[in-house]
Each structure stands twice: as C-alpha cells, then as structure tokens.
Amino acid sequence: MNPTTLTQTQSQSISAGRLLACLLALALVISACGSGVGDTTTDAAALNSSGEGAFLISGSSTVFPIVQLQAERYENIAPGVAIAVEGPGSGDGAKKFCAGDVPIANASRQFKDEEVEICEANGITFVELNRGIDGISVVTSANNDAIECVSFNDLYALLSDESIGFTNWADANSLTDTWGGQEFPDASLDIFGPGEESGTFDSFNEIVIESVAKGKTGLDVDSRDFAEIIRPDYTSSPDDNVIIEGIASSQFSLGWVGFAFAQEAAEAGKAKMLQVAEQDGGDCVSPTAETIASAEFPIARFLYTYVNIDAAANTPGVADFVDYMLSPEGLSAVSEAGYVALPEVDSAAVLEAWANRLPGRN
C-alpha cells in the first residue's frame, strides 16, 4: 500500500459514517512520559520472574494518542505489565527501535529505506502494522477570516524552500502571480509546524511540496526549477500541542498537524482548519472523518506501528499487548483518539501480517 495516499478500493470500502471522539487532553501526554518506566525494553532488570514486564513504546506524536489509550486500558486488564508511551517523533522512534532499545515504534509514515537498512544491520526484523488513517490538516488562527481555502500550489508558495524569508502572506504573491494562483492579503505570516524528526513533516513534504515540484498540480516544471523540501525558517516543535498553541497565538498563523489535534483545537476555538484543493481552482475540501475516509481530502495518509519480532517472542508482555491492540476493544481507540479506522479488507491484512509475523514493510 502507498503510505501517503489511499487507493480507490480502500476509499470505497471505508465507512464514511464513523463518529469521532475528542482527543485526549494534554495531561494525558504528560502522564505518559512520567510513568517511571525505564527507557530501554531489553533490560532484563525491568522484568520479573513471573512474566510481568515493563517496556517503552516510542515514535510518532500523531499515533501517540491511540497507543497511549490502548496502553492505559491494557494495564487495567494486565496490571502486572507497565507500558510507557512517548511521542518524540517518527524519526526519533525509528532510531530507538532500530537500535534495539524499544520493542515497538509508532510512525505516521512508513519507515524510510535508510531506517530499514539500519534495522537490518542491527539484526532487527519487524512486522509493519497499519493502524488507521489520518488527514494532515492545514490550520490557522480561529480569528483569521482572510483565508478559507488553499491549494497545493498555494502551500508551495508559502511553505516551500523557495519561500525562505517570506514573513508576510503577500510575499507569496511573487510566486502565485506567475501561475495565476491565489492573491494573498497583506498580513504577517507566522508559521508553526512539526520538525524534521516528525513523520507528519515527511508526509506533508511528500504529498504537497514534492507533488508540486514534480508537476502533479499542473505547473510547468520544465520551464523552471521547483524546490522539493519545506522551508527551514519557521517555528517547529515535536509536540503537536505546542504547535497548536503557536497557531492560536497569532491571528494570521499557518501550520499543519494531524487531524485529531486539529479537530480538538478547532472545537476548543484555538484554530481553524482550512479547506484544501489539490489543484488551483479545484474543489476545496474540509478535513472530516468522511472526507479522509473516502480520500476526498487530498492530504490523507496511513499511520503505522512497528513491532520487533524477536522482542515479541522474548520480552514478556509485548506480544500480548499487540494482540490487544488489534482486538476489537483495542481498535476502538483509533476512532476514539480522533482518527479514521481501517476498512475491513485492510484490518484483515494487518491481522494476517501479525499472526504470521510477516517481516518488513507491507
């Protein structure tokens, strides 16, 4: 499966009527990293002779709410197992995972080739589990009435490496004017988003910026060079809640986060989710459970969990917890955390991959 877009079959098979619950509060994030569990899972001292264990799960801040909710519920069922969940970012989680420091890692994009190579070099074999579907949401302040919809080309003009130094929305007109795009207002441009350690950074860059640079949005890429990376001069954070606070602090802010965080912020009056069109003049689509499930919203992507196969066999509690994660009760956490559950065909594939410990990316 493509890690950044949904296939037509998947789009048709996902139920559009799923209801979303509110995201866990920030206090949940704080408590997750303060449970007192050590930061390495392969330390035998963390386990006792009765088979009870303690381990850390690291990785994506986007996937964090799902797994934290599952860990809390599982600890009620199996009080002898202590699970700590942290969300420093997909890249940071992959580093710990491929070094053998954690048995489970979450990611909001597939492991990169170089991460897979490091895992292989360290003798780490893994199962890739698709967890759910997210829509990367473009957000601004709830008080910004000047902007309602942005196209991929608009986002390129505002957020690509070609827009370094732009501190006013109107600065981007120097780019959009060349291809007849949107005219932006004279207003301070304050950008907040995830950093390079984040899978959300990688996915947004691939889906939006690289699509423009490769001519997928209708621009003539043969006539000039286009940047393929996000500009570095913005306020970045690995913490989605910090990004949201930054968005709320400036009337004409701009940023991007996972749907669950954006939805919660919008409901709290802290942010406004902008509509997005893939093409200039195309349909402006709001991120919702329905549009993300159907892939109508153009910045949809899959979420992942990676499990160390050897750790699942040898670290007490790991395999049982993954079994719980994929159980009906465990899977309910996906929608409760604010994301879109997988269609049945993909859920069945995930169960098969785990049951047979199918190694590598699927």
Q: Give the model confidence (pLDDT) of 198-223 as tens digits.
A: 999 999 999 999 999 999 999 999 99
Could you tell me the sign of the dihedral formed by the alpha carbons of 259, 265, 269, 270, in that order? negative
User: Residue 296's closest CA among 305, 286, 309?
Assistant: 286
pLDDT (mean) for 146-163? 98
pLDDT of residue 340: 95
| Whether the predicted pLDDT of 28 surpasses 60 | no
Res. 138 pLDDT band, cuts 50 70 90: very high
Listed residues 274, 298, 322: the one ending a domain: 298
The pLDDT value given to residue 259: 96
Average pLDDT over residues 265-270: 96
| pLDDT at residue number 115 | 98
| pLDDT (0 to 100) of residue 360 | 95
Are residues 224 and 258 part of one domain? Answer: yes
User: 169 in a domain, yes or no?
Assistant: yes
pLDDT band for position 225 (cuts 50, 70, 90): very high
Q: What is the mean pLDDT of residues 64-75?
A: 96
Q: How many CB atoms lie within 10 A of CB 313?
A: 10
pLDDT tops 50 at residue 228: yes
Whether 280 has a pLDDT exceeding 60, the answer reads yes
> Percentage of residues in the chain with pLDDT exceeding 70?
86
Q: How far apart are CA 178 and CA 124, in angstroms?
A: 49
pLDDT at residue 32 greater than cutoff 90: no
Mean per-residue pLDDT over the chain, rounded = 87
Average pLDDT (315-343) is 95
* Averaged pLDDT, 27-51: 31
Q: Are residues 66 and 213 in the same domain?
A: no
Same structural domain, 72 and 23: yes
**Closest by alpha carbon to 230, among 193, 280, 177?**
193
Same domain, 29 and 44: yes
Same domain, 323 and 350: yes
Q: How many domains does the chain have?
A: 2
Does residue 350 share a domain with residue 261? no
Q: How confident is the model at residue 46, as a pLDDT?
A: 32
> Given pLDDT bands bounded at 50, 70 and 90, which one contains residue 53?
confident
Mean pLDDT of 344-361: 96
Can you give the residue range of the structural domain that contains 280? 137-298
pLDDT at 130: 96
Residue 205 lies in a domain: yes
Asked if the structure places residue 46 within a domain, the reply is yes
pLDDT at position 47, please? 28
Please tell me whether residues 172 and 102 are part of one structural domain. Answer: no
Contact predicate 200/95, CB 8 Å: no
Please report whether residue 121 resides in a domain.
yes
Q: What is the mean pLDDT of residues 116-130?
A: 98
Answer yes or no: are the C-beta atoms of 303 and 60 closer than 8 Å.
Answer: yes
Answer with the residue of higher pLDDT: 138 or 24.
138
Q: What is the mean pLDDT of residues 172-180?
A: 97
Residue 23 resides in a domain: yes
Q: Is residue 45 part of a domain?
A: yes
341 and 257 in a single domain? The answer is no
- Is 360 contained in some domain? no
The residue out of 298, 314, 340 marking a domain boundary is 298
How sure is the predictor about 119, in pLDDT bands with cuts at 50, 70 and 90? very high
**CA 314/CA 211 separation, integer angstroms:** 43
Same domain membership, residue 151 and residue 129: no
| Nearest CA-CA partner of 236 in 89, 114, 106 | 89
pLDDT at 178 over 60: yes
Q: Which residue, of 283, 298, 313, is where some domain finishes?
A: 298
Mean pLDDT across 323-336: 96
Give the domain CATH number at 92: 3.40.190.10
Radius of gyration of the chain from its Cα atoms, rounded to whole angstroms: 20
| 195 and 63 belong to one structural domain | no
pLDDT attached to residue 242 = 97
2 in a structural domain: no
Residues 321, 267 share a domain: no
Residue 45 reports pLDDT greater than 70: no
DSSP code string of 165-233? T--BGGGGHHHHHHHT-PPPPS-B-EEEE--TT-HHHHHHIIIIIHHHHTTTTS--TTSS----SB-S-
pLDDT the model gives residue 52? 75
| pLDDT recorded at residue 216 | 97
Q: Do both 257 and 164 map to the same domain?
A: yes
User: What average pLDDT does the segment 225-231 reach?
Assistant: 97
